[in-house]
Amino acid sequence: MTDTQIRFDDGAAYERMMGIWSGIAGAVFIDWLRAPQGWRWIDVGCGNGAFSEQLVERCAPAAVLGVDPSQGQIDFARQRPAARLAKFEIGNAMALPFADNSYDAATMALVIFFVPEPAKGVAEMARVVRPGGTVAAYAWDVLGGGFPQEPLRAELRTIGVESLNPPSVEASRIEVMRDLWRGAGLEAVETREITVQRSFADFEDFWETTLLGASVAPTIAALSPADRVRVKQQVRTRVPADATGQVTLSGRANAVKGRVPG
């Protein structure tokens, strides 16, 4: 593991930075899935359990299993109220340690672009879901400017600095998602965009929260003190506060779903 890779080891920091965004976008995503009650779900790349908790609270599932490679994230997830039903385990998205046809649905929430071989990850989800079950994912449209941290990333680009991208960032494109799902043999493949907003108490709240991001924090830390001040000032102009001092940002994700044949 090198210091140029994006890592998520702090569940509490992730909750403040991205867990809230995940909850907002995840609610739209779950409504779109239109899944019946009583299903068995596997949440692949569950992180700190933010989306797994939504499955418990909104879908009346028979079971939810979240898997993630980060012990810190799993430890945080196990402290959530959802742990009364959901189970959380260390796991690899490209080699799920479960039998074929074990679940009714498999999801990846803000994860597909972190999987080194996305096609293998989708194939594994399809393998562990029964015929007729659902395989679905959503991911920030990073390359299309939909990532919630885009105002900061954009300002960094103006000074010739690129933020870290997930290793499979191309998988966030909606057409790539569609091809991955069809390539895995899934049927009735559908895609959509999900646009959501989140408000912060003020600019400082937004700035401090954004700097918890694993893709931008090391980039900002590497800047000179003068450049950090300059970037912060310029980002402030990109995200003006309203009359109450609040700052509201938009995020846009691409989503895909398909059915296991049979």
Measured between alpha carbons, how far is 92 from 103 in angstroms, rounded to an integer?
A: 17
Measured between alpha carbons, how far is 251 from 239 in angstroms, rounded to an integer?
A: 13
Q: Are 254 and 171 in contact (CB under 8 A)?
A: no
pLDDT of 28 reads 97
Across the beta sheet with 87-90, the strand order is 87-90, 63-68, 40-44, 103-109, 129-140, 247-259, 187-200
Q: Per-residue pLDDT tens, the chain, 262 aa: give them.
A: 233 455 555 556 667 667 788 889 999 999 999 999 999 999 999 999 999 999 999 999 999 999 999 999 999 999 999 999 999 999 999 999 999 999 999 999 999 999 999 999 999 999 999 999 999 999 999 999 999 999 999 999 999 998 888 899 999 999 999 999 999 999 999 999 999 999 999 999 999 988 887 778 888 989 999 999 999 999 999 999 999 999 999 999 999 999 999 9
How far apart, in Å, are the Cα atoms of 96 and each of 124, 252, 255? 7, 29, 22
pTM: 0.90
Tell me 102's DSSP state: -
Residues with Cβ within 8 Å of 225's Cβ and at least 6 positions away in sequence, in order, are none
pLDDT of 255 reads 98
pLDDT of 2 reads 30
